Amino acid sequence: MAVKEIISNFKLFVEYQKIFLKSAIEYRANFLLSTFFMFLNDVIWLFFWYLIYYKLGDINGWVFQDLIYIYVFATISFGIAGYFFGNHKEIAELVVKGKLDFYLTLPKKDLTHILISKNSWFDLGDLLFGILLLLFMVSVTKVPLILLMIIPGVLILIGFGILVGSLSFYLQSSESFGSTLYESLISISLYPGSIFTGATKFITLFILPAGFITAVPVQLLHSFDVTWFILLFLFSIALFLLAIYVFYKGLKKYESGNLLYVRM
């Protein structure tokens, strides 16, 4: 039963990928531009850090190569989460504008179907940038461990996106606040982890869990520690499960875009 469901969901995933590909071909110019600009954006930021490190040498012990690792973890996990599960950033919009109706009237599991049914070309630029960094700026021996530790990053991004998006079930007009939180998570994950100490470090790990997307994996690349490794996976899975729970709990309050604003 479960296996059958996974296979059928995978088939649907493939069908959606086909559709995305056709859309990209239909609008190739836009597609290439979006992808290219995101790529360029990443190049500019990495260049910025190169300039900073040129002057400073290291930031609290972290050198430029560490920042490359940060960008590898960040861009590849943004890319996977955003390109293949693009709707994890759009939950609030789906809720507020009543766009969940579509999924609710169809037989597939709601959240699974929601996640796989949108892609973003921007994030493909991220993904390509990350893969290029991985191929040319990272020693081969580190690649398997890096790939393994991208999984929790993807889970955290998707889980956090669903969590803040689900706020919209409970609070009217929390849309922009939710996306600010998500943007903050993305931003913080792009800084050298060594700048966060004490209470701030705790916050970047357990409140806005950016640390688990980049800083912890980079630390583990340097000095492998079983406890942190297990914590990384446990935390990301727990966050992901929590997100699923909160989403379905909130779904009971779904009002299908019937929120009328009455002006007095």
Partner 1 sequence: MNSQLNKYLSISFINIKESLTYIWDIIFGKVIFIALIIFVFANLWTVVFASKGEVIPGFTLSMMVWYLVFGEALVTSIGRFVKEVGDDIKSGEIANYLTKPYNYIVYKIFVSFGKGLINFMLVLFFGGIVAYLMVGGIKISLVSVPFLLIVALLAMLLNLVIASVISLFAFWIEDSSSLNYIYSKFTFIFGGMIVPLEVYPPLVEKIAAFLPFSYSAYHPSKLVLIFSFKTFLEIFIVQLLWIGFFIIILFFLYKYIIKKVSVNGG
Partner 2 sequence: MKKEEKKIISIKGLKKTFKTKVTKPGMSGIFKNIFSPDYKYIKAVDNIYLDIKEGELVSFIGPNGAGKSTTLKMLSGILFPDSGKIKILGKDPSKKRKELSYDIGTIFGQKPQLWFHLPPIDSFNLFAKIYDLDKKIYQERLKNLINLFEISDIINQPVRKLSLGQRMRCEFVLALLHNPKILFLDEPTIGMDIIVKKTMRELIKKINEKEKTTIILTSHDIGDIENISTRLVIINHGQIVYDGDFKNIKQKYLSKKLLKITTEDKIDLKDFKDLIVIKKSKYYIEFEINTKKFPLNKVIDFLFTKYKITDIGINEMPIEDVIEEIYRDQR
- Provide the binding-site residues for partner 1, judged by CB under 8 A: 29-30, 33-34, 37-38, 40-41, 44-45, 47-48, 51-52, 54-56, 59-60, 173, 176-177, 179-180, 183-184, 187-188, 191-192, 194-197, 200
d(CA 122, CA 92): 20
Contacts of 46 (CB under 8 A, 6+ apart): 67, 68, 71
Kindly report each contact of residues 205-208 with a partner whose C-beta sits within 8 Å and lies 24 or more positions away, as own/partner: 208/181, 208/184
Is residue 222 a contact residue for partner 2 (CB under 8 A)? Answer: no
CB within 8 Å of 226: residues ≥ 6 apart = none
Residue 251 beta carbon to partner 1: minimum distance, rounded to whole angstroms: 24
Give the torsion sign (CA, 246, 10, 95, 104): negative
Q: State phi, psi for 118 to the nearest 5 degrees.
A: -145, 145
Does position 29 interact with partner 2 (CB under 8 A)? The reply is no
In Å, how far are 6, 76, 226, 233 from 207, measured between CA atoms?
Answer: 32, 22, 22, 16
The two structure tokens encoding residue 97: 């504008």
| Identified binder of partner 2 from the candidate list 36, 47, 102, 224, rule CB under 8 A | 102
Closest contact distance (angstroms) between CB of 77 and partner 1 is 19
Residue 62 φ then ψ, to 5°:
-95, 130
Q: Nearest CA to 208 among 227, 232, 182? A: 182
Contact between 225 and partner 2 by CB under 8 A: the answer reads no
Q: Smallest gap, in angstroms, from Cβ of residue 26 to partner 2?
A: 5
Of these partners, partner 2, partner 1, none, which one is at the site of residue 199 (CB under 5 to 8 Å by kind)? none
8, interface contact from partner 2, partner 1, none, CB < 5-8 Å by kind? partner 2
* Total site size for partner 2, rule CB under 8 A: 34
Between 141 and 258, name the residue whose CB sits nearer to partner 2. Answer: 258
Say which entry of partner 1, partner 2, none residue 252 contacts (CB below 5 to 8 A, set by partner kind): partner 2
Site residues for partner 2 per CB under 8 A = 8, 11-12, 15-16, 18-19, 22-23, 26-27, 99-102, 104-109, 113, 172, 252, 254-256, 258-264
